[in-house]
A and B are shown apart, each in its own frame.
Chain A
Amino acid sequence: MTETRGATFRRMQGRGLVLPGNDIDTDRIIPARFLRSITFTGLGDQVFRDERFNSDGTKRHHPFNDERFRGAEILVVNNNFGCGSSREHAPQALHRFGIKAIIGVSFAEIFAGNCTSIGLVTATLKEPEVVELQRRIEEDPTVVLTIDLETLTLSFAGKTEPLTMNPAARSALLEGTWDTLEQLLRNEDEIDQVHRRLPAFSTLA
């Protein structure tokens, strides 16, 4: 997002929001009907819409409706989070809801890339550690989590766990180059060289 362009991330602190389950896809994070818009505005209200609300608009039991987790900034998920559609609307919706980092066992690739390009941290822990973290947060939602990108660690309740993170995403966040456009624009001559070198296969060239 433009308002945080170029920001660097070293350490962040926040409370955790536990969202259990494997293979949570981007259709669930933000249902397709909310993609019928030419902006990302307002997506934060619709995150997990069909799981959080009944058709009459009344709230259902869901971690994102759970008062204990209100204001939490670090989402803790399980395996293959964000699989499915490439819609950037999914990380946008989470981010606009207030999520600043996601810790999980694994992430779908396009989703993780989309997170990085809007400055949203995705980091992984081994499965038993994620399950233990989720248990601790459920037990005490006020526990403060600290993500340190320099040391690549997660600290909470006196414990420190090593985090794993895509090295490119990590350095982009540390250096404030996660918004890739500025970096890509710098190599204009090299881009033109590749363009000229590529075979003119088609009437496109």
Chain B
Amino acid sequence: MGRTLFTKVWDAHRVAALSVTRDQLFIALHLVHEVTSPQAFQALRERGLAVKYPQRTIATVDHIVPTLQQQIRPYDDSLAEEMLQALETNTREFGVRFLGLGSDHQGIVHIIGPENGLTQPGMTIACGDSHTSTHGALGAIAFGIGTSQVRDVLATQTLALERLKVRRIDVVGQRSPGVYAKDIVLRIIGTLGVKGGIGYAYEYGGPAIEDLSMEERMTVCNMSIEGGARIGYVNPDQTTFDYLRGRPFVPTGEAFDRAVHAWRDMASDTDAVYDDRVTIAIEGMAPQVTWGINPGQVVGIDQPLPQPDELPAEEREGALQAYRHMGFEPGRKLLGEPVDVAFIGSCTNGRLSDFRAAAEVLRGRRVAAGVRALAVPGSRRVKRQAEQEGLDRVFHDAGFAWREPGCSLCLAMNPDKLAGRQLCASSSNRNFIGRQGAPHGRTLLMSPAMVAAAAVSGSVADVRDFLRGERHD
């Protein structure tokens, strides 16, 4: 009977059984950032413990860093300054490699892992951030953890965990121009629901997933958590190996060939048995946009917003609350809804391919008057590469602010925030109430190209109109 990648990786990293249902699992790579780690390091100090394998622990700073004048210390925000100083002290004191602001490798933790080749197939990866599922794009079992678990990994390089069930999600059909990885994952969450993945790891496959680039696969895996799944992954294939070759932490020469051999073996067997299987068809699918207060409240850009009484009973109350918060009406379309802010960035869509896709829309166009538009690269490397391609000029000429790397307006722990009831076209992952830094602020999740289209239109737009060249704003 065939085994899944999940099972193979789990078994390879299993240290011991802790109880009938709980295993102790070795964590091959622990990623650390400033928000969820200070209390964990403090707990180690209080118990007189060291970091077990500092060489398997990598830290960076991303959530609280400003995207303007990032290098000027101390920060105006004394709380942010205190957090950064804590991470500097903790990494120095415990001997952990810190890819901080002085490093060429700094950036959002889920962007720098893959781009530096720290993330590799067959690994177990943990980080105190729910979007750790991103790393599954490379065939790793990667999950978000809380601060007590960050402490556990620091002290023992292991976690107490229960095995998940595995749901295979086959995505089939040709995607239309203007439809991106973000649209695919929003469709998956819209179909299976925001709690549909509880208890499951999502294995993404099928022709439409195999066709995606590595960066696009990361976008899909990134949002697994928004569908309730703690883990999402794609089996490693030639696309994965081609992506990894030559990255800083990846072995070279013969060692690379040996690694590829091992990575290939980690993929799910063709006769692997799954706990559940679903197929999602994307043929003819329009770009997707959220209209509510969770990522499952999503429609095609050409579709009317749902009538609450036509929704499944358990979604009705949430829909009514969403309509109250967003101020939209059932039955209408979002097309033409004026936006105040446009944000391209985050661990979901802050990679080079995202800025390229948005630049394709922005080239030769201008952000509409009154729209505040922010482009925030996910890492220094993304920023540098984008600038080498001249993308920063495209964004700048269009009227976007081109910023320093960080999490920025995704969760607004730095000075980038919405104000009042502003409506934001956002390439990020969460449209939760208050997520972008204002209790009454409103978020529409969409692909970076759709954000660019909204920015130049001044309102929610269909990016397909721009790509066809039918609109010349």
| Binary contact readout B22-43 vs A (1 if CB under 8 angstroms, 0 otherwise) | 1010101100000110110011
Q: Is B300 an interface residue (CB 8 A)?
A: no
Q: Is B317 an interface residue (CB 8 A)?
A: yes
**In the bound complex, what is the Cα–Cα distance between A46 and B12 (angstroms)?**
42
CB-based nearest B residue for A50: B439
Interface size, chain B (Cβ < 8 Å): 88
Q: Are the CB atoms of B86 and A86 closer together than 8 Å?
A: no
Q: Is A57 an interface residue (CB 8 A)?
A: no
Give the contacting residue for A117; candidates B24, B146, B294, B413; CB below 8 A.
B146
Q: Is A195 an interface residue (CB 8 A)?
A: yes
If A80-B194, A195-B157, A201-B262 touch, whether A28 touches B16 (CB-CB below 8 Å) is no
CB-based nearest B residue for A175: B19
**In the bound complex, what is the Cα–Cα distance between A32 and B251 (angstroms)?**
38
Query: Within 8 Å CB of A181, what residues of B?
Result: 43, 47, 148, 151-152, 155-156
Q: Are the CB atoms of A84 and B430 closer together than 8 Å?
A: yes
Q: Is A35 an interface residue (CB 8 A)?
A: yes
CB-based nearest B residue for A115: B146
Q: Is A158 an interface residue (CB 8 A)?
A: no
Query: Within 8 Å CB of A202, what residues of B?
Result: 117-118, 120, 249-251
Q: Are the CB atoms of B432 and A25 closer together than 8 Å?
A: yes
Query: Within 8 Å CB of A118, what residues of B?
Result: 148
**In the bound complex, what is the Cα–Cα distance between A50 and B26 (angstroms)?**
39
A183 to chain B, nearest CB (A): 6
Interface size, chain A (Cβ < 8 Å): 63
**In the bound complex, what is the Cα–Cα distance between A21 and B145 (angstroms)?**
25
A61 to chain B, nearest CB (A): 14
Query: Within 8 Å CB of B52, what residues of A?
Result: 191
Q: Are the CB atoms of B251 and A201 closer together than 8 Å?
A: yes
If A23-B294, A83-B228, A86-B36 touch, whether A117 touches B13 (CB-CB below 8 Å) is no
Query: Within 8 Å CB of B35, what residues of A?
Result: 35, 87
Query: Within 8 Å CB of B64, what residues of A?
Result: 36
A83 to chain B, nearest CB (A): 6
A19 to chain B, nearest CB (A): 13
Q: Are the CB atoms of A23 and B39 closer together than 8 Å?
A: no
Q: Are the CB atoms of A110 and B146 closer together than 8 Å?
A: yes
Q: Is A33 an interface residue (CB 8 A)?
A: yes
Query: Within 8 Å CB of A188, what residues of B?
Result: 156
Query: Within 8 Å CB of B439, what residues of A?
Result: 31, 50, 55
**In the bound complex, what is the Cα–Cα distance between A40 and B56 (angstroms)?**
26
Q: Are the CB atoms of B148 and A114 closer together than 8 Å?
A: yes
* A68-93 interface with B by 8 A CB criterion: 79-80, 83-89, 91
Give the contacting residue for B412; candidates A33, A172, A190; CB below 8 A.
A33
Q: Are the CB atoms of B46 and A106 closer together than 8 Å?
A: no
| Binary contact readout A189-205 vs B (1 if CB under 8 angstroms, 0 otherwise) | 01101110011011111
**In the bound complex, what is the Cα–Cα distance between A36 and B82 (angstroms)?**
9
Q: Are the CB atoms of A86 and B24 closer together than 8 Å?
A: no
Give the contacting residue for B314; candidates A22, A55, A86, A193; CB below 8 A.
A22
Q: Are the CB atoms of B144 and A168 closer together than 8 Å?
A: no
If A23-B194, A27-B432 touch, whether A33 touches B36 (CB-CB below 8 Å) is no
**In the bound complex, what is the Cα–Cα distance between A179 and B42 (angstroms)?**
16
Query: Within 8 Å CB of A22, what residues of B?
Result: 314-315, 317-318
CB-based nearest A residue for B148: A117
**In the bound complex, what is the Cα–Cα distance between A204 and B113 (angstroms)?**
12
A113 to chain B, nearest CB (A): 7
If A21-B318, A80-B198, A180-B160 touch, whether A171 touches B80 (CB-CB below 8 Å) is no
Give the contacting residue for A84; candidates B29, B130, B317, B413; CB below 8 A.
B130
Q: Is B437 an interface residue (CB 8 A)?
A: yes
| Binary contact readout A90-128 vs B (1 if CB under 8 angstroms, 0 otherwise) | 010000000000000011111001100110000000010
Q: Are the CB atoms of B434 and A28 closer together than 8 Å?
A: yes
CB-based nearest A residue for B124: A198
Query: Within 8 Å CB of B71, what residues of A?
Result: none
Q: Are the CB atoms of B46 and A2 closer together than 8 Å?
A: yes
Query: Within 8 Å CB of B38, what residues of A?
Result: 38-39
CB-based nearest A residue for B154: A181
**In the bound complex, what is the Cα–Cα distance between A41 and B42 (angstroms)?**
13
CB-based nearest A residue for B13: A194
B317 to chain A, nearest CB (A): 7
**In the bound complex, what is the Cα–Cα distance between A191 and B56 (angstroms)?**
13
* B256-314 interface with A by 8 A CB criterion: 259, 262, 293-294, 314
If A22-B318, A28-B432, A31-B434 touch, whether A194 touches B26 (CB-CB below 8 Å) is yes
Q: Is B15 an interface residue (CB 8 A)?
A: yes
Query: Within 8 Å CB of A55, what residues of B?
Result: 439
Chain A CB within 10 A, most for which of B146, B159, B251, B413: B146
Chain B CB within 10 A, most for which of A180, A188, A193: A180
Q: Is B321 an interface residue (CB 8 A)?
A: yes
Q: Are the CB atoms of B318 and A23 closer together than 8 Å?
A: yes
Give the contacting residue for B228; candidates A108, A168, A171; CB below 8 A.
A108
Q: Is B128 an interface residue (CB 8 A)?
A: yes
Starting from the known contacts A31-B434, A84-B430, 5 additional A-B residue pairs (CB-CB under 8 Å) come to A22-B318, A25-B294, A36-B83, A168-B22, A184-B160
| A-B CB contact pairs (8 Å), 19 listed | A2-B43, A22-B317, A32-B435, A37-B82, A85-B411, A85-B430, A86-B129, A87-B35, A88-B39, A88-B146, A109-B198, A127-B314, A166-B162, A168-B160, A181-B156, A185-B155, A191-B156, A203-B251, A204-B56
